[in-house]
Amino acid sequence: MKSFDRFKRKKDCDNTKSIVEELETLNVETIHGYKQKYFQESKHIWKTLVPKQGQADNLQGELLRQIEKLRYEAQNNGNINWDDNFEYFCVFINTSLKNESSLSTNQKETVDLIMRKIQKHGQYAHSLNTNQVSDSLFDVMKIAYVDDDIYDFIADCISVVYINHPEPITLIKKRVFIGNTSIYITISSI
């Protein structure tokens, strides 16, 4: 059993190294210092389309709820609670915004870069939290991205979606079976 544990630990360490390497290539300098342009629209979405508890039943509200949960987790908790839900948020936001016709190709590429960066920071924090990061690899700057710029950029992209689709876009939850495992996926009605 001990030799298996050593093998697993080496594998986990190798996985952490690849996360670190990818984090170093995800450069968001192009939007460093970005200031939110559509704050009022985001505020309106938050007040009218995001419920006080639970998931929103519309795309615009759910996207904003998820990016704000990611922001809060990074800035207030240092991604210490990173789990599959946060992973899902990253994928859902990335996929939804990349499929949105009202965003430019450049905006979609930036969304992809940002969401992968947020995800990699979370994965690094999770590796640290589960003792998969060796002391030689630990870097406090890789745990969480805490500046507002990338979160504000995503919030602005969500606001652009809202501006182009002011009526709530209904979200449909579907149960999907993969082998013996069932998962729920959320799809928009657009």
**pLDDT tens digits for 115-143?**
999 999 999 999 988 888 776 778 888 99
Total tally of structural domains belonging to the chain: 1
Which range among 129-143, 147-161, 170-184 has the greatest average pLDDT? 147-161
Alpha-carbon torsion 150, 152, 70, 110, what sign? Answer: negative
pLDDT of residue 9: 39
Dihedral angle, C-alpha 151, 153, 159, 161, nearest 10 °: -110
Q: Kindly tell me if the per-residue pLDDT of 49 is higher than 80.
A: yes
- Note down the domain range covering 170: 2-23+30-188
Kindly report, residue by residue over 4-46, the tens digit of the pLDDT.
Answer: 333 333 444 455 556 556 555 556 777 889 999 999 999 999 9
Q: What pTM was computed for the model?
A: 0.81
pLDDT of residue 181: 66
Structure tokens at 83: 């789990």
Write a three-state SS string for 74-107: HHHHCCCCCCHHHHHHHHHHHHHHHCCCCCCHHH
